[in-house]
A and B are shown apart, each in its own frame.
Chain A
Amino acid sequence: MRPLDWAVMVLTLTAIISYGLWRARGAATTDSYLRAGKTMPWYAMALSIMATQASAITFISTTGQGYVDGMRFVQFYFGLPLAMIVVCLTAVPIFHRANVYTAYEYLEKRFDAKTRTLVSIIFLIQRGLAVGLALAAPAIVLTVLLGWPDQITTLVMGVIVITYTVLGGVKAITWTDFQQMLIMMAGLGTALIMAINLLPEGIGLTGALTVAGAAGKLNPVTTDFSWTDRYNIWSGLFGGMFLALSYFGCDQSQVQRYLTGSSITQSRLSLLFNAVAKIPMQFLILLTGTVVFAFFTFIQPPLLFHPGDMAKLKADPAYPALQQKFDNAFRQRHESAAKMVHGEPTREEFKSAQRDIDDTRKQAAKITGGNDTNYIFLHFVTNYLPPGIVGLVIAAILGAAMSVISGEVNSLATVSVIDIYKRLLRPVAEDGHYLWVSRAFTAFWGVYAVVTAQFAKNLGSLVEAVNLLGSFFYGGILGVFALAMYFPKVGANGAFIGVLAGEAAIFALHFTGAASFLWYNVAGCIVVILTGNLVSRLTARTP
């Protein structure tokens, strides 16, 4: 990074965090610290919800996904608007009326303390594992850019996030997220425009789309059905809807965002904004990845984008032959792409060269044992964007990372305090005590995130790793909330056993490989509902 990039990055991040802390001044009660005193307007919550989902992973990994696999990943979000409608109809009014701090408090009101505690612990395990992944992604950025060791990068990121999260609580997080989301949109838009502008003369967006289309990258809707195919319209609509329902209806990191709303209307509007904006945003991120693919059709990329893996490959005896094969395939692809853009029938030659390139990259990855999907966009940004813009894009990536980590740390602390500490360990105390404990738990989970981030590297595409991890637990949690809201005859024991059965079913599906992870939520939720109803019937007392 050049001095101008450093200046842009540091100024942007300092301004965002200062603004968030300024807006959060005077958070002197547990209610204002954990729920912002229920005063937040819809637009702040809407962008905060988007920012909490749009992590550094979204920038780094989704663009890489667009480059490698094309645009079909966007289908993963097709179920989200439907889920938002269901959440607006059910969870939002129920949680507002129950006047809860966490979604799991409602489970005790509906069932009993053991169901609330079980689901709270499942949340703490699942979200606790994910928070390390969220911190590992920006560590990749800083490691590539600065050459710092991973331990230092995660520590620096962690300390910044812990500072403003501990000091300002959910209000600081929401207003910081608001600013971060605006910077993310600016960074994303700039990266896409720059990628188009950097294409060779005479290519333009139309030429880029012609090239990406010929390579099979422009596939935002695929209708073929397979239980094991991760991304098609059916898994997106149904599996994606269940995942989004679990995420927005039952995951405290999201529920806490809209529980800060001043009314049901404000909370609903914030969710519906996401229903409308999320899919186009993902489409643009993936499109950026495919334009970067077109860019590297005309400008030769490295054989592998991960600098460490590339160094490892160069030390292997097979390297010269692989590089030669890659160079030849690149030349053939370049020539056929240039002719194709100008209307010549060279599509088959282009496809053949693309296959050779893919094969060579696969062979190289086999030797290094790594996956360079997360490094593609970073390589493009740091090597081809002009000074200042690099700083803005990196600030957007870091801002995205911080918004996710702060939201997750805050929700983990809230569940730890409200559902575990206050409920089980110390039910009666001064409000000031709970405020102090909330800050202490926030600091604890921040430190925990830094430590677990060390183990979250080299997991392939990080965005898939996060979604896969969520799918292990979301189905069970969604099922118990569905029982609570839609099955009034189901009692506490039915719900408790139902959750355990649902989780068992999900793990059985995973270890037998019977279905793609997007179906875990559907299966887990159905098993919880069926088991809950069955157990309640069997254990119902006759009058």
Chain B
Amino acid sequence: MNMLTDACTSLNKQESLEITELSEVLAEAL
């Protein structure tokens, strides 16, 4: 996740693309 997040930041894509972890999405939906 962090590798993709860093790449996203490096390419200034963090506004258009969110990188998250599956467990976070699932825990949020409980």
A and B are interacting partners: no
